[in-house]
């Protein structure tokens, strides 16, 4: 049985959400996913349907979302459904919704120099093998400065400052670009690259997203069919309480 993915795109047109949704659809179909694409936040109204997917891919910049819809997504991810996205389509989606920000692991706050900044993306050696074998690479785009959940596992970073500004009087910082986190039984993946479709279409970014999609979707399978070790862990949790 093929895995199922849901892509929901919209919001600010400057991020070329329809084009990027098309790139994501192609990546997933090449990996034999059955893909549903929607241009409406009302797609999130059916919480039980959301739980039938292996992966949810939001690409919606700014705007507002119903509290019920965020709860539905959160519950689906907690049940094991993966959540993966990029740039403002996931971590600048709903600026007034802290529940969304808590789940996704971060929130955009600035991009000094705006579009056209040349900077390096540094692949980080961490406990996750997700980006193993990939090399550091340069990109010319927006360089995202984010407020980031300390619980995330950082897989790639970029050095600030590149462009001078009020932040430059602080020490240099390595800002997360790619990260993973857990939300209940589900896996969450984020990549801050992707201001325009041409950036997402770069082979490095496409490969990062492909790996993230597959990793997140795999979590659904593990949640539905936990190993004997996992079952022992959860069954023993009550013994120490």
Domain spans, the chain = 4-107+179-240
Report residue 97 as tokens: 């919704």
Residues 81, 51: Cα–Cα separation, whole Å: 6
Q: What is the mean pLDDT of residues 124-152?
A: 96
Q: What is the mean pLDDT of residues 193-206?
A: 98
Percentage of the chain beyond pLDDT 70 is 94
Please determine, for residue 1, whether its predicted confidence score (pLDDT) is greater than 90.
no
Residue 232: predicted pLDDT: 42
The residue assigned the tokens 């020490």 is: 171
HSE (side-chain half, CA atoms, 13 Å) at 13: 0
Residue 229: predicted pLDDT: 47
User: Which of 175-184, 196-205, 223-232 shows the lowest per-residue confidence on average (mean pLDDT)?
Assistant: 223-232
Residue 87: predicted pLDDT: 98
Residue 126: predicted pLDDT: 87
HSE (side-chain half, CA atoms, 13 Å) at 4: 9
Residues 181, 151: Cα–Cα separation, whole Å: 7
Which sign does the torsion angle of CA 139, 91, 157, 55 carry? negative
Q: What is the mean pLDDT of residues 145-161?
A: 98
Please determine, for residue 239, whether its predicted confidence score (pLDDT) is greater than 50.
no
The answer to whether 208 and 214 are in contact (CB under 8 A) is no
User: Which of 37-51, 179-193, 218-232 shows the lowest per-residue confidence on average (mean pLDDT)?
Assistant: 218-232
User: Which of 110-119, 147-156, 215-224 shows the lowest per-residue confidence on average (mean pLDDT)?
Assistant: 215-224
Residue 227: predicted pLDDT: 55
Taking Cα atoms as reference points, which of 237, 178, 185, 239 lies closest to residue 213?
A: 178
Helix axes 203-224, 17-30, angle to 10 degrees: 60
Tell the CATH topology of 4-107+179-240: Rossmann fold (3.40.50)
The residue assigned the tokens 């240099």 is: 172
Binning pLDDT at 50, 70 and 90, where does residue 196 land? very high
Residue-wise pLDDT tens digits, 17-63: 999 999 999 999 999 999 999 999 999 999 999 999 999 999 999 99
């Amino acid at each position: 049985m093929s895995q199922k993915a849901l892509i929901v795109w919209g919001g600010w047109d400057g991020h070329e959400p329809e084009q990027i949704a098309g790139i994501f659809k192609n990546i997933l179909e090449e990996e034999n996913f059955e893909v549903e694409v929607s241009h409406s936040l009302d797609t999130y109204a059916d919480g039980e349907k959301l739980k039938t997917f292996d992966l949810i891919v939001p690409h919606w910049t700014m705007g507002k979302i119903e509290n019920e819809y965020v709860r539905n997504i959160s519950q689906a991810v907690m049940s094991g459904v993966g959540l993966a996205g990029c740039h403002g389509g996931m971590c600048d989606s709903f600026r007034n919704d802290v529940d969304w920000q808590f789940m996704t692991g971060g929130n955009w706050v600035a991009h000094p120099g705006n579009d056209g900044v040349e900077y390096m993306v540094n692949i980080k050696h961490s406990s996750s093998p997700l980006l193993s074998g990939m090399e550091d690479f340069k990109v010319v785009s927006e360089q995202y400065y984010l407020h980031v959940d300390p619980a995330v596992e950082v897989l790639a970073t970029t050095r600030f400052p590149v462009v001078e500004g009020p932040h430059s009087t602080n020490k240099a910082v390595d800002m997360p670009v790619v990260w993973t986190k857990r939300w209940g039984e589900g896996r969450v993946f984020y990549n801050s690259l992707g201001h325009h479709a041409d950036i997402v279409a770069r082979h490095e970014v496409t490969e990062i997203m492909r790996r993230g999609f597959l990793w997140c979707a795999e979590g659904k399978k593990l949640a539905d069919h936990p190993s004997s070790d996992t079952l022992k862990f959860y069954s023993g949790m009550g013994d120490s309480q």
